[in-house]
Amino acid sequence: MMTRLSVNVNKIATLRNARGGNVPCVETVAVDCQRWGADGITVHPRPDERHIRRTDVYALRPLVTTEFNIEGYPSDDFMALVLDVKPEQVTLVPDAPGVLTSNAGWDVASNLEFLTDVVSRLRAAGIRPSIFVGTDLDNLRLAARTGTARVELYTEPYAAGYTADRESAVAPFVEAAELAHELGLGINAGHDLGLQNLTFFHERVPHLAEVSIGHQLISDALYLGLEATVKAYKACLK
């Protein structure tokens, strides 16, 4: 199975918003990333619109010809947005409104009824749901009970431990992916994956359907150029 690369363009919007206007243009970057080999585009609109705005989501919908993945906390406003836009995938994250970036997976036990209802609403709209989780196996079993199609494994612990002991760092993700597959779940991954650690993760973690990468990819593009960077990340997934 080919592992797909979804490019998160939030950081492009952050740079644009810092100056005002429309430079760099989020829509142009999304179209170009797809042209250069990206298999999807990810956005994470937050309530304060500090990077991706609701208007960006609507503007991107007709331009994303690969796969549109919208991440976010399933508030009433977020759900109204995604049910209107109808992306191919919605990734549910447990972010508080002011958090800088997603830094933990769901405690599914404490949110089982809530997540089950949200997943049901997404499925009814023809949208593939994915739940952002860590590698705890009992938590994964509960995630499967929500009816979600996929989980996205939160990979910051892997990235943090990669340099010191990459085998130990990847081991929980291998185990989690094997269980998720047994439970009938598709497996995505994201957070702090980059050129230095992505190939090994891809080689070792089975059944990996998709990685969603933004901050590190855009940071690498400052040195390598965006086209070369997208192609380099794709090469890590071969």
Q: Read off the CATH number of the domain in which 120 is found.
A: 3.20.20.70
Active-site position among 44, 51, 67, 210: 44
**Cα distance between residue 78 and residue 44, in whole Å:** 10
Handedness of CA 195, 196, 201, 202 (dihedral sign): positive
Domain of 121?
A: 4-236
> How large is the average pLDDT for residues 175-204?
98
Report the 10 Å Cβ neighbour count for 166. Answer: 15
pLDDT(176) > 70? yes
Query: What is the pLDDT at residue 98?
Result: 57
Q: Is the peptide bond before 94 cis (omega within 30 degrees of 0)?
A: no
Verify whether residue 202 is a known catalytic residue.
no
| 44 has catalytic annotation | yes
- Residue 122's pLDDT band, with cuts at 50, 70 and 90, is very high
Q: Give the active site residue among 67, 71, 152, 210.
A: 71
Asked if the model's pLDDT at residue 96 lies above 70, the reply is: no
Question: Measured between alpha carbons, how far is 60 from 76 in angstroms, rounded to an integer?
Answer: 21
Residue 210 CA: distances (Å) to CA of 72, 84, 163, 201, 213? 17, 24, 23, 12, 10
**What is the predicted pLDDT for the residue at 99?**
56
pTM over 0.85: yes
pLDDT-derived band of residue 104, with 50, 70 and 90 as boundaries? Answer: confident
Average per-residue pLDDT for the chain: 96
- Indicate the number of domains in the chain: 1
